[in-house]
Chains A and B, each alone.
Chain A
Amino acid sequence: MGIYFLKRIAGAIVVMWVIITITFMLMHSIPGGPFTAEKKLPPLVQQKIEETYHLNDPLFKQYTDYMSNIVKLDLGPSFKYIGRNVNDIISESFPISAQLGFTALLVAFVGGVTAGILSAMRPNSWIDYTVTFLSTLGISVPTFIIGAILVYYLGFQLHWFPVALWKGPMYMILPVLTLAANPMAFIARLTRAGLLEVMNQDYIKTARAKGLSTKYVFLKHALGNAILPVITYLGPLAAALLTGSFIVETIFAIPGLGQYFVTSIYNRDYTVILGITIFYSGLVVLFNLIVDFIYPLIDPRLVVEKEDK
């Protein structure tokens, strides 16, 4: 078991290293380079950047410098905003995105699993059809369209919810729903399919033959096994919530890191783009690692292949 964990951690470190390297390579392959004078940067910024990035050093030294900066968790200064560091930007706006993200994660997980359970308990009932219909819709409609619909109907027409900013619980409802819609639908489908497949397994027959009640068999024997693919999905789920936040924060004018990211893309603020990319990637790697640790707690077989999702 210990070896399993060590392997996972080592894997995560390798992935991070690859991420940083790829990011670095991309950074230096932008046509004309992000640091050239053609960009017409204010001289102060230009100077700061040359200091930080030692642009006159050979490429490999730049690379190692960059690496050591990253390890020190220093992501460099912003192009656009003189005097502001990428780190500052992140620490200011990430907490808001984290709130949005975690809430959406909870909603998606709890909502999706519940819907899947209800649906699988009574196959071909009206509950089942409703859940199946809604979840198929949920994975087919792009997030920004869901957001737009919610904003239009619940915000503009009915005035039930505010449609911008992030000032309290009421402000959270529409954005969280929008962000959670896609993943929740996916989880519902995953849970339902998993449960239906598990219910046909031999060990369920055995459990029933032992005289256990249907509810007990469902909850303890079936659900425990069916939830495994959902746990596996949590990793990609984190990545999805992350990228989804770009859209949601933009539509709802939420001052989170996602919106900052989108703005920095628009502004071609390269250091910010790259810094946030590495930060986000690190988050995803970390989250995957946590999931890898949780999984064996439920499944003693240590099935580590994550193929065939």
Chain B
Amino acid sequence: MKLEHIKFVEDYRTDILERLTADDFLPASNKNEMVQDAFQDRPTPWSRLKANRLALIGMGIVIFMILAAIFGPMMTPFSYAAQNLMEANQAPSSAHWFGTDTLGRDLFVRVLYGARISLAIGFVAALINLVIGVTYGGIAGFFGGAIDRIMMSIVDVLYGIPLLLYVILLMVVLGPGLTSIFIALGIAYWLTMARIVRSQIIKLKAEDYVIAAKAMGFSSVRILFKHILPNCVGPIVITMTLAIPEAIFTEAFLSFIGLGVNAPMASWGVLASEGIASMRSFPFQLAFPALAICITMLGFTFLGDGIRNALDPKEEGK
């Protein structure tokens, strides 16, 4: 190898140089194998969610609670309304896993039943919020212009009202009971969803690919269903995941004030309020429903945080 006239900027391993032959400088033949696809598998939101342990725990809790609510009461011999005054205020035992309340009702089945009520309230209220909010925000965002301005001015005004007060007022007017709760919660809290859906639609309308679709002649309806709505799912899901615990919270609050469901139906809120009254002497009567509420809330919070992180492209792994 005649390398004297080659000027190396830095020292290079002479052993490697010495081993080179003319064959090494033939054109490469196996290049195609080496062309790598630099697009690694982009993490999908689902995979990011799965990687978040807290979110998985949250999801597990939520699913567990739902299952407990649906199947739990079938698995115990006691009814949630059966009173047995002789067995009142008994501490947890093998017969009554959670003990009994002041009227001798089995607390375990009441907590399970409470799960049904509280979760049902949570989901139904969130669903009503969803329907009203998505429709309202969808119309405002999609049509834009004066319609949007008027509709959003209404929302702005309503936003200035302390909604919980008016939920209370509605409950007073409608009278206590499950339906009243559904109505009151559903009517009061759709504002956030409406705003989010509307701003998402507006943002999407301005995106290049939507404008491109329009330029290519696709009808508005098709654009709406194929391009815009699917991309709204993310923020909608996040809002719903946070709306459910808020509804459960609010119901517990209402129960505490005495505006919840009617006895003997018991939501967790009702159970907790009853428990507080006898807290000093029988703390377990508060402890179990309180634990149920807290664990479920935590579950939804973890899940909600996790979903938000998974859908937000700016979040990198912590």
Contacts and interface: CB of A to CB of B under 8 A. Distances in A.
Contacts of B300: 140
Interface in B280-309: 280, 283, 286, 290, 293-294, 297-298, 300-302
Interface in A281-307: 281, 284-285, 288, 306-307
Contacts of A250: 256-257
Interface stretch (A15-23, A53-61, A169-177, A222-230): A15-23
A118 to B, nearest CB: 18
B156 A136 contact: no
Nearest to A15: B160
Contact of B258 (A140, A265, A274): A265
A29 B173 contact: yes
A141 interface: yes
Contacts of B9: none
B161 A144 contact: no
B245 interface: yes
A150 B267 CA distance: 23
Contacts of A280: 162, 165
B169 A140 contact: no
A149 B294 CA distance: 12
Contacts of A149: 290
A140 B280 contact: no
A277 B172 CA distance: 12
A246 interface: yes
Contacts of A83: none
A26 B199 contact: no
A207 interface: no
A174 B267 CA distance: 27
B116 interface: no
Contacts of B67: none
- How many B residues touch the partner, as a band? 35 or more
Interface residues of A, number: 51
Nearest to A274: B169
Given A22-B166, A26-B169, A145 B294 contact: yes
B175 A31 contact: yes
A108 interface: no
A239 B166 CA distance: 12
Interface string B266-280: 000000110110011
A271 to B, nearest CB: 12
A308 B160 contact: no
A152 B168 CA distance: 28
A84 interface: no
Contacts of A22: 161, 166
A292 to B, nearest CB: 10
Contact of A247 (B256, B294, B318): B256
Interface string A137-157: 101111111001101100010
B253 interface: yes
Given A11-B156, A262-B257, A265-B259, A23 B245 contact: no
Nearest to B165: A277
A239 B293 CA distance: 23
B175 A307 contact: no
Nearest to B280: A156
Interface in A211-252: 239, 242-243, 246-247, 250-251
B245 A140 contact: yes
A145 B290 contact: yes
A268 interface: yes
A268 B164 CA distance: 18
B157 A281 contact: no
Nearest to A270: B172
A219 to B, nearest CB: 24
A283 B169 CA distance: 17
B110 interface: no
B279 A152 contact: yes
Given A139-B301, A140-B301, A308-B196, A15 B161 contact: yes
Nearest to B295: A140
B185 interface: no
B173 A26 contact: yes
B298 A148 contact: no
B279 A151 contact: yes
A143 B196 CA distance: 27
Interface in B210-236: none
A40 to B, nearest CB: 18
B276 A140 contact: no
B165 A144 contact: no
A268 to B, nearest CB: 7
Nearest to A280: B165
Residue among A12, A19, A270, A309 with max Cβ neighbours from chain B (10 Å):
A19
Contact of B162 (A30, A239, A270, A306): A239
B170 interface: yes
B258 to A, nearest CB: 6
Contact of A152 (B162, B283, B297): B283
23 contacts: A11-B157, A11-B160, A26-B166, A26-B169, A136-B298, A142-B253, A144-B252, A144-B253, A144-B273, A148-B279, A148-B290, A242-B165, A243-B164, A246-B257, A265-B257, A270-B172, A277-B165, A277-B166, A280-B162, A281-B162, A306-B159, A307-B195, A307-B196
Given A26-B169, A30-B173, 12 more contacts: A14-B157, A142-B252, A148-B286, A148-B290, A239-B163, A243-B164, A251-B276, A270-B172, A277-B169, A281-B162, A284-B160, A306-B159
Closest 9 CB pairs of A and B: A140-B297, A15-B160, A239-B162, A284-B162, A140-B298, A243-B164, A145-B290, A141-B294, A140-B301
